[in-house]
Amino acid sequence: MNERYSRQVLFPGIGKEGQEKIRGKHVLIIGAGALGSGSAEVLTRAGVGRITIVDRDYVEESNLQRQQLYTEEDVLGKLPKAAAAEKRLRAINSDVEIRAIIGDATPELLEELAAGIDLMMDATDNFETRMVMNDVSQKYKIPWIYGACVGSYGMSFSIIPGKTPCLNCLLRTIPLQGMTCDTGGIISPAVQMVIAHQTAEALKMLVEDWESVRTTFVSFDLWRNQYTSLKMSKAKFAGCLSCGEERTYPYLDHENRTKTTVLCGRDTVQIRPSNQGEVSLEKLAGQLGSLGYQVKGNPYLLSVEMGPERMVIFQDGRALIHGTKDLTHAKSIYQRILG
């Protein structure tokens, strides 16, 4: 056994047999931001055989406060996060096969990657992608670990197909956070706490110690010294379209996705959310203004200056991203602000 993993092997929950199992597993990480970069480093150091990372964004200066794999050099080079993460992770552990995919985590891509994946890690910044992950998980029987954080608050839940409620079930029960780091800010310790919860559960699953996997939904607020662990067995819903008795995997359906369109003759992308709901423009204006954005508005819309781009948000959640024709970039901006 490689001396590199000797301290991990000494841990009774893993041992030599568990380390061999870890070495034989393939983990898919969706997102290479704060949670993704941290989880990827932990699992790379732990000796996971293969890690695939999917991310559509590039490294920005504001990332350096909490996204541990990246440097100022990556910011200057505007390196895609997936590429920068791949380079750093290979330098950390050359025994691990690292694959970076620079792009959107679409249903088509995730279904294409599903074969041979042992575990999925949620490190994305929006619920649309999480719901796609959830349906892929249920369809292909791949466990995944939900995780999210904003401000000083974080949460995590392990989802095992056929055993636990899925994310679609949970949305009927738990009011999950709607703020994003761009609207509510974030402190690094909250990120690290979620990473600890997610990767601890990941190691349990990778060594196949299913009895030790936590079955409760954990949430915490480090600033307010609050910690909650909720039993979720009763949240499982027989009529759930993702994991129920007559499942249809609705979030793999093209009709249920956010619609993006380049407006004819204009350097503008229109984004229309799949599930329309009224946005509190006054509340959003206050949040964005406190973070230094230049915000103007009226009772019908909000205009937000964002460097080279300008985002106009309407009450029904529709938005126009001016200054780009890149659909993926526009969608990323939209989800950073509206979650």
Q: Select the CATH number that applies to the domain covering 258-338 from these four: 3.40.50, 3.10.20, 1.10.260, 3.30.310.
A: 3.30.310
Give strand pairing partners of 102. 55
Contact 271, 289 (CB under 8 A): no
Contact 29, 36 (CB under 8 A): yes
Whole-angstrom Cα distance, residue 101 to residue 215?
Answer: 31
The backbone region for 47, taken as left when phi is positive above 0, alpha when psi lies in -120 to 50, beta otherwise, is left
The pLDDT value given to residue 177: 53
| The one catalytic residue among 181, 240, 243, 264 | 181
| CATH assignment, 3-252 | 3.40.50.720
Whole-angstrom Cα distance, residue 95 to residue 83?
Answer: 18
The three-class DSSP label of residue 204 is: helix
How does pLDDT run along the chain (339 residues), one tens digit per residue?
Answer: 579 999 999 999 999 999 999 999 999 999 999 999 999 999 999 999 999 999 988 888 988 999 999 999 999 988 889 999 999 999 999 999 999 998 878 899 999 999 999 999 999 987 888 999 999 999 999 999 999 999 999 999 999 999 999 999 998 766 555 566 766 789 999 999 999 999 999 999 999 999 999 999 999 999 999 999 999 988 999 999 999 999 999 999 876 677 777 766 678 888 888 766 678 888 888 888 888 888 888 877 788 888 888 888 888 788 888 888 888 888 888 888 876
- To the query of whether residue 169 is one of the catalytic residues in this protein, the response is no
- The Cβ of residue 222 has, within 10 Å, a number of other Cβ atoms equal to 17
The pLDDT value given to residue 60: 84
Q: What phi, psi does 80 have (nearest 5°)? A: -60, 140
The CATH 3.30.310 portion of the chain extends over: 258-338
Contact 205, 27 (CB under 8 A): no
Contact 177, 121 (CB under 8 A): no
Give strand pairing partners of 311. 304, 321
The CATH 3.40.50.720 portion of the chain extends over: 3-252
The pLDDT value given to residue 39: 98
